Amino acid sequence: MALRTPLMLAGCLLALSFGAAADTAHTYAFGQPAPANQATRTVQVTLQDISFSPKSLDVKAGETVRFVLVNKGQLLHEFNLGDAAMHAEHQKEMLQMQASGMLTATGMGKMDHSAMGHGDMGGMKHDDPNSVLVEPGKTAELTWTFTKAAGLEFACNLPGHYQAGMVGKLTVE
């Protein structure tokens, strides 16, 4: 019994340390998510098939912006903050999610992957804090504190959308 308790404690601490490492995996040089009540400005962005309005945004380093995202299109769209390299990587993930049935043209798929023996699809989720999916006719929000000057983009990374021009310039001064 004396040995079992320290081993259980060690196991719990190990599990917690992995959880903490996972939480810090989503760090961004250009800022971090923030609660909506900390926003110093609100910006409405309209998502259409296949464009954003406005097409560019200027923010200041240190500013917390609440983005209100209104999808007036017929398709599922994404609002994702990052640079071109981040978008390219995220597009690969989105393509996998679409191929697995997790994403459809108009929303999240309803497939039960656990029943198919796929478990959690290798951890595929759309849960990055710098990104939100918005279904047709719906509104969503993303609040972000921009910490340093950088040239960024806001983009929809669903397969083909970025390439069709669904990307905007986000300048952090």
Residue 12 lies in a domain: no
Domain that holds residue 46: 30-172
Residue 6 lies in a domain: no
Which pLDDT value is given to residue 27? 78
Residue 64 lies in a domain: yes
Which pLDDT value is given to residue 28? 92
Q: For the chain, what percent of residues have pLDDT higher than 70? A: 75
CATH number at residue 70: 2.60.40.420
Which pLDDT value is given to residue 110? 55
Residue 145 lies in a domain: yes
Per residue, the 3-state secondary structure of the chain, as one string, reads CCCHHHHHHHHHHHHHHHHHHHHCCCCECCEEECCHHHCCEEEEEEEECCEEECCEEEECCCCEEEEEEEECCCCCEEEEEECHHHHHHHHHHHHHHHHCCCECCCCECCCCCCCCCCCCHHHCCCCCCCEEEECCCCEEEEEEEECCCEEEEEECCCCCCCCCCCEEEEEEC
Task: Give pLDDT tens digits for 160-170.
Answer: 999 999 999 99
Task: Give pLDDT tens digits for 42-92.
Answer: 999 999 999 999 999 999 999 999 999 999 999 999 999 999 999 999 999
Work out how many domains the chain is built from and give that number.
1
Residue 7 lies in a domain: no
Residue 46 lies in a domain: yes
| 149/99: higher pLDDT | 99
Residue 117 lies in a domain: yes
Residue 3 lies in a domain: no
